[in-house]
Structure 1
């Protein structure tokens, strides 16, 4: 019997966490902050600039600079605060596209071992067990996904 050249590892070195700044998303960021501190891993805090943020009231399409700039400011300040408080190594990124495509792409690019999201994001009713982003990620992501449930 031949021994494997390297032992398989289940270590998680990077976690991608998606946020839209909602209270539920921020609860997911806080959960990931504590989890990452325990594991000693790095966090990539990500926001996907989605369709509604890409609609210009004057009819032009593409990322609306003011919305993107606001997201870039918020992700670096308020939205990252739980990670900063936990003292974990993190970086932030704002990418164009739907989160169900952006988050797995970022996970692959950063070799993340886990994607984390809230069960529901901004503007999603919690009548269903999962919002569209969480549901889409669970259905399609090749990277394992943890969904943090909405409380209340």
Structure 2
């Protein structure tokens, strides 16, 4: 499947071609043509996102279980894209969440990667205790998050 960014670019290009054809056939003003292209730039990501969301939800159903990996000792400069690419070599990555400090917004050096359950062991075996951007990664299956009790609801 094509990535959502490529799909969005293709949809935007189709809109631009349609705007060009309309402008030349109907002799629209250049400002109106620019307006059509401008509007298509906002519509294309919406169409691309809805198609990719439908495709990913159907791939979730076809791939069975999705499990979460804890990834610790991440370099602070690593972003979601780099981590996704690293794990994608070992299986289907559904999502990447790198944790940030609420007050400073800086990354905290750990995160979570959701992968297809059948790819989990392969990723753990390949990446745990390996060096990534001069840091030794700690990769294991994430523990279930315990239920949080809201202290404000008791009274």
Q: Which has the higher contact order (CA 8 A, sep 6+)?
A: 1
* Higher share in helix: 2
- Normalising by structure 1, report the TM-score: 0.27
- Normalising by structure 2, report the TM-score: 0.27
Larger Rg, first or second structure (1 or 2): 2
